[in-house]
Amino acid sequence: MFNVERWQEIFETLRKNKLRTFLTGLSVASGIFILVILLGFSKGLENGVRSEFEGDATNLITVWTGVTTKGYKGLNPGRYVQMKNDNFDLISEKYKDNIDHKSSIYSIWGAQITYNNESVNYRVRGVMPGQQFIENASLVSGRFLNEPDLEESRKVAVIGQRLKLDLFKNEDPLDKIISIFGVNFKVVGVFTDPGGEREEQQAYIPVSTSQKVFGAGQDIRNMLFTIKMSDNFEEATQLSNQMALAIENELKTIHTVAPDDQSAVRVFNRLDEARKIYSLIATIQAVFWFIGIGTIVAGVVGVGNIMIIIVKERTKEIGIRKALGAQPNSIIGMILQEAIFVTMFAGLFGLVFGLGLLELVGPQIESDFLKYPQVNFNIALTTVFILVFAGALAGFIPAYRAAKIKPIVALRDE
Amino acid sequence: MITIKDLHKSYHMGTNSLHVLKGINFNVNEGELVSIMGSSGSGKSTLLNILGMLDEADTGSYVLDGVQIKNLNEKIAARYRNEFLGFIFQSFNLINYKSALDNVALPLYYQGISRKERLSKAEHYLEKVGLAEWSHHLPSELSGGQKQRVAIARALASDPKVLLADEPTGALDTKTSYEVMELIQGINDEGKTILVVTHEHDIAQMTKRIVNLKDGVIIDDSKVEQVRATQYV
């Protein structure tokens, strides 16, 4: 294997048979290349979806209401269902064993927020302390809203990083006073949210304050709950589904909404959505793997096929070599070593080319569902070795047969 | 150098059996230049293939330079071919993607000689056949006569005991044939044992002994007055 003379002989043969070498290499390199790209995109898809779900807690149940579309128990359709504080308290109390974090919301869209001479129009959300965990938000400075803020309806605000930049530039915002629609609020914290800039433009204030300041009485717009996660994803999804259904029914009963009214009370169960999308991704990945393995199999068959042709084409040469005193082993070795060298080289080339392309194009891709396509290098390298090994195995049989050909028969071959 | 006793060989094609060699007995001494003649189907090529260990006899004994050639496996046959024999074929059988020099050096590769030494030896033999300037040309760039000279240089390169030539002039015109024969005679003059299979009388007359084969038996084996090819060239 490490015989310098043999390598010289092989390199010479390869150099003198450029087309054959190129074609063999091309089939192997393109196989690996396609596999790398496929695996990369499959990973990118997964990354994209994961980051979509990263913005908020996965185990989130969101409740919002709308207008009834069906008459029920003497009530006309077209009635707006307004959730109240006591609805939220009732559900929180009833399902407290299953609820991790909770938040009721009363938000103002496009609220005018002013600091000194700077003024912007962003969303202000009246929330509860649990919102921080529901949004996966983390604090850059200061603190988040707390229970006393809520109980005493304090005029405090936690502002997003973007909002902070817009209003305060480089100034420290903590304990400064901002005005929302002319009402003064003290900034107690700055947060960052993986959901991105849109989330970071918001200001959070206590929901009780929001209701008082904006004259909403006991009204709330949304209810958010995260359910306690068990280790078993399926179990958690099931619990989440049950919760979602129970909350929906509860609210429908309270507000006298027809059980089959789809628009009056709506409950969005994120975990169930996540499960669906993850299972979709798992299916897509399985398909990609299937195609990838198919490509490898095709590559192996291709290499084996080329090996057979090479041996056929070189029958006469093998006869000459044998007549000149080549040992059968040296014939097998020559053909195999050549095949392994070409597949290995081409395979690595395809690998590097594929990885390079992913590296180059990957960051340019701006799609919500495709992010950072990348390949596990070890997996890719393993496939190269599998291909080389299988190719060598596929080549061994014709090589072995070639070595067994009687020189006199091989010499007659034209 | 070569002792053959009662050699038999049959070919089986389907149900038909063709008895090609029907008991061949003959000896070749060192330094002889022997031609084996016969019409096609007389078994002369088969005999040469058996002598060259490219094919095996059914029965009979074959001793080459004191070594009994019998029950050869592929490995030993390959080694004997490499050490004892040099082949010259009618169709030259050069490897077409290798230069003349590399072709000549090939048997030396199988002797495990280093590349440097291989090439210098090969160069020496190419010079001997008068093709030193053509050493880096591919066979496709050479004429028939030149190709056969390369083949002769290759056969000589491993310094074999016996040269076996199968219709060495079969693919060449008369003038080139004589040039090749002149070269073969020259090599024989240096003491090399050479067997030439041919069906051309003028070529046979240029050897020192003619063995005539017909239907698988030797019908005539006689020394002749050698005609030097030089006078025709």
pLDDT tens profile A106-130: 988 888 999 988 899 999 999 999 9
* CB of A52 less than 8 A from some CB of B: no
Q: Rounded to whole angstroms, how far apart are CA atoms A61 and A270?
A: 6
Instruction: Pick left, alpha or beta for residue A413 (phi over 0 → left; psi -120 to 50 → alpha; otherwise beta).
Output: beta
The per-residue pLDDT for range B191-203, each reduced to its tens digit, is 999 999 998 899 9
**B79, A325: Cβ pair inside 8 Å?**
yes
CB contact under 8 A, A317 and B89: no
Pick from A324, A329, A412, A413 the residue to mutate for testing the B interface (most B CBs within 10 Å): A324
Hey, what are A387's tokens?
């291909």
Residue B9 forms contact with A (CB below 8 Å): no
- The complex scores an ipTM of 0.89
Optimal mutation site among B72, B94, B110, interface A, most CBs of chain A within 10 A: B110
Per-residue pLDDT, A98: 87
Q: Give the count of domains, chain B.
A: 1
Please give, rounded to a whole number of angstroms, the shortest distance from the CA of B78 to a CA of chain A.
4
Q: Which of B55, B109, B115 to mutate to test the interface with A (most CBs of A within 10 A)?
A: B109
Q: Do A327 and B102 touch (CB under 8 A)?
A: no
Q: Please provide the average confidence, as pLDDT, over all residues in chain A.
A: 86
Shortest Cα–Cα distance, B10 to chain A (Å): 15
> A-contacting residues of B 31-60, CB under 8 Å?
49, 52, 54-55
Using pLDDT thresholds of 50, 70 and 90, give the confidence band for residue A210: very high
Contacts of B117 (CB under 8 A, 6+ apart): B108
> Could you say which of A17, A323, A403 has the minimum Cβ distance to residue B81?
A323
The per-residue pLDDT for range B58-95, each reduced to its tens digit, is 899 999 888 888 877 888 888 888 889 999 998 899 99
Task: Say if the Cβ atoms of A323 and B102 lie within 8 Å.
Answer: no
| Contact call for residues B137 and B99 (beta carbons, < 8 A) | yes
Residues written for chain A: 414
Q: Which residues of B touch A5 (CB under 8 A)?
A: 109, 112, 114-115
Question: Element (H or E) spanning B209, and its range?
Answer: strand B209-214
Say what the alpha-carbon torsion angle A28, A30, A35, A41 is, to the nearest 10 degrees: 160
Share of chain A above pLDDT 90, in %: 28
Of all helices (H) and strands (E), which one includes residue B47?
A: helix B44-51
pTM: 0.67
Helix (H) or strand (E) holding B103, with range, is: helix B100-109
**Angle of the A85-94 helix axis to the A233-254 helix axis, nearest 10:** 140
CB contact under 8 A, A327 and B74: yes
CA angle B213/B48/B166 to nearest 5° reads 95
For residue A409, give the nearest of B49, B76, B107 by alpha carbon.
B49
Does the structure show a pLDDT above 70 at A139? Answer: yes
For residue B227 the two structure tokens come to 């005609």
Q: How far is B125 from chain A (nearest CA, A)?
A: 16
Rounded mean pLDDT, A243-257: 90
Q: Residue B95 gets which letter from DSSP?
A: -
**Best CA proximity match to A173, nearest among A211, A141, A135:** A141
Task: Tell me the pLDDT tens digit for each residue of B156-202.
Answer: 998 999 999 988 998 899 999 999 999 999 999 999 999 999 988 99
A411: contact with B, CB 8 A cutoff: yes
Of residues A8 and A366, the one with the higher pLDDT is A8
CB A121 within 8 A of CB A139: no
Question: Residue A91 region, left (φ>0) first, then alpha (ψ -120 to 50), else beta?
Answer: alpha
Q: SS3 of B200, please?
A: coil
What integer pLDDT is reported at residue B18 of this predicted model?
A: 86
Six token digits for residue A191: 């947060």
For residue B80, what is the nearest residue in chain A, using CA coordinates?
A325
Confidence check: pLDDT of A131 > 80: yes
In angstroms, the CA B118 to CA A147 distance is 92
Given this model, what pLDDT does residue A413 score?
63
Verify whether the Cβ–Cβ distance A411 to B93 is below 8 Å: yes
The first and second tokens of residue A367, run together, are 């799609």
Give A320's contacts in chain B (Cβ within 8 Å). 93-95
Cβ–Cβ of B74/A328 closer than 8 Å? Answer: yes
Closest A-chain CA to B107? A324
What is the rounded distance in angstroms from the CA atom of residue A389 to the CA atom of residue B132? Answer: 44
Choice among A138-142, A328-332, A395-399 with the minimum mean pLDDT: A395-399
Contact check, Cβ <8 Å, B111/A325:
yes
Chain A environment of B97 (Cβ under 8 Å): 13, 16-17
| pLDDT of A83 higher than 60 | yes
Contacts of residue A128, defined as CB under 8 A and 6 or more positions apart, other chains included, come to A102, A103, A104, A145, A150, A206, A207
Q: Does A3 touch chain B (CB under 8 A)?
A: no
CA distances from B160 to A324, B31, B80, B94 (A): 11, 12, 10, 18
CB contact residues (below 8 A), chain B span 154-193, against chain A:
154, 158
- Count CB neighbours of A394 within 10 A: 21
**Which candidate, B181, B185, B165, B161, places its Cα nearest to that of B173?**
B181
3-state secondary structure chain A: CCCHHHHHHHHHHHHHCHHHHHHHHHHHHHHHHHHHHHHHHHHHHHHHHHHHHHCCCCCEEEEEECECCCCECCECCCCECCEEHHHHHHHHHHCCCCEEEEEEEEEEEEEEEEECCEEEEEEEEEECCCHHHHCCCEEEEECCCCHHHHHCCCCEEEEEHHHHHHHHCCCCCCCCEEEECCEEEEEEEEEECCCCHHHHCCEEEEHHHHHHHCCCCCEECEEEEEECCCCCHHHHHHHHHHHHHHHHHHHHHHCCCCCCCCCCEEEEEHHHHHHHHHHHHHHHHHHHHHHHHHHHHHHHHHHHHHHHHHHHHCHHHHHHHHHCCCCHHHHHHHHHHHHHHHHHHHHHHHHHHHHHHHHHHHHHCCECCECCCCCCHHHHHHHHHHHHHHHHHHHHHHHHHHHHCCHHHHHHCC
Average pLDDT of the residues in A197-225: 91
Instruction: Examine the pLDDT at A1 and tell me if it is beyond 50.
Output: no
Among candidates B49, B78, B95 on the partner chain, residue whose Cβ is nearest the Cβ of A325: B78
Mutation choice for A interface testing from B20, B79, B81 by most A CBs within 10 A: B81
Running DSSP on this structure, what letter comes out for residue B48?
H
Most A-contacting residue of B47, B73, B106 (CB-CB within 10 A), to test interface = B106
Does residue B46 surpass a pLDDT of 70? yes
Chain B environment of A407 (Cβ under 8 Å)? 54
- pLDDT exceeds 90 at position B141: yes
Flag if B98 and A408 touch (Cβ within 8 Å): no
A6: nearest CA in chain B? B109
Radius of gyration of chain B (CA): 17
Retrieve residue A199's tokens: 């989330």
CB A255 within 8 A of CB A86: no
* Residue showing tokens 């407290």: A96
Inter-chain CB proximity A325 and B114 less than 8 Å: no
Model confidence pLDDT, tens digit, residues A5-56: 778 778 877 887 788 788 888 888 888 888 888 888 888 888 887 777 766 7
CB of A284 closer than 8 Å to CB of A368: no
Q: Which of B142, B144, B141, B135 is nearest to B176 (CA)?
A: B144
Q: Which two tokens stand for residue A217?
A: 């009485």
For B52, the domain range is 2-231
B89 at A interface, C-beta within 8 A: yes
Reply yes or no on whether the pLDDT at A362 is more than 80.
no
Read off the pLDDT of residues A145-171 as tens digits, 9 standing for 90 and up: 999 999 999 999 999 999 999 999 888
Other Cβ atoms within 10 Å of B152 Cβ, number: 26
We report the CATH number of the domain holding residue B160 as 3.40.50.300
Contact B97 A17 (CB under 8 A): yes
pLDDT-derived band of residue B100, with 50, 70 and 90 as boundaries? very high
Tens-digit pLDDT profile for residues A2-19? 577 778 778 877 887 788
What residues contact B53, with CB distance under 8 A and at least 6 apart? B69, B72, B77, B80, B81, B85
Nearest CA in chain B to A406: B54
pLDDT of res. A414: 58
Across residues A348-374, what is the average pLDDT? 81
